[in-house]
Amino acid sequence: MSRVNHNAQYIYDVDGETVWEKLRVIRNQLEDRKIALALVNLNSEENRKKIIDKDSYEYKKYLIYKDQSEKLIQDCVNEVEFLTQFEAVLAAEAEKTRIPGKTDDEMYEINFFEELALRLVGSAQAQMLASGRMQEETIRRVLKNKQALQMCVDRGFLSPNAIQIAGPNLSIPYNYDTLYLENLKKED
């Protein structure tokens, strides 16, 4: 039982390019940390009840690890407090873009289309900065995602001609992505 991430890692390194994805990940992390804290507290209480003999090996071991255990538990408590505060900030921000009537789980799914596009553009950007060009596999993936392709053109990673060159091969055949998203946004 100890701290999993530093606060800055939750802000900068934990998955999530969009507020909805970051919120989903942080909520999962928070739930996991709360469970871990509850389990360690339950285990600590059970161990204390078992130790009756002050001269036993178990009691002496308990005394040796007591300070370290308490510090690690406090680190987890602090982490849960930070995650609770950060989750509230993200939830307030995400709420601004909620589609009326949609649950959090539905919003995570609807939002993931944008999340994927931003991840692709992030990969393209990193490759452009590192080597001055995108890898072939990244270009293939960008060509399948209209939103990512447009963003790459807008940011100057690809020529404006890329959209015309992609032509009818652009995106999933029959625009399943668009049909699916429109259906998700309408359902109630």
Q: Which two tokens stand for residue 134?
A: 């995108």
Q: Give the 3-state secondary structure of residue 72.
A: helix
Q: Is 145 exposed, middle or buried (0-12, 13-18, 19+ CB in 10 A)?
A: buried
Please name the residue that has the structure tokens 């940390």: 33
The predicted structure's pLDDT at residue 42: 80
Q: Which residue has the higher pLDDT, 184 or 109?
A: 109
Residue 49 has pLDDT above 80, yes or no: no
Q: What is the mean pLDDT of residues 103-107?
A: 96
The predicted structure's pLDDT at residue 123: 97
| Residues 163, 89 contacting (CB under 8 angstroms) | no
110-159 confidence digits (pLDDT tens): 999 999 999 999 999 999 999 999 999 999 999 888 899 999 999 999 99
The predicted structure's pLDDT at residue 45: 67
The predicted structure's pLDDT at residue 172: 46
Q: Which residue has the higher pLDDT, 52 or 75?
A: 75
Q: Is 18 exposed, middle or buried (0-12, 13-18, 19+ CB in 10 A)?
A: buried
Nearest to 104 by CA among 148, 179, 9, 112: 112
Q: What is the mean pLDDT of residues 22-47?
A: 89
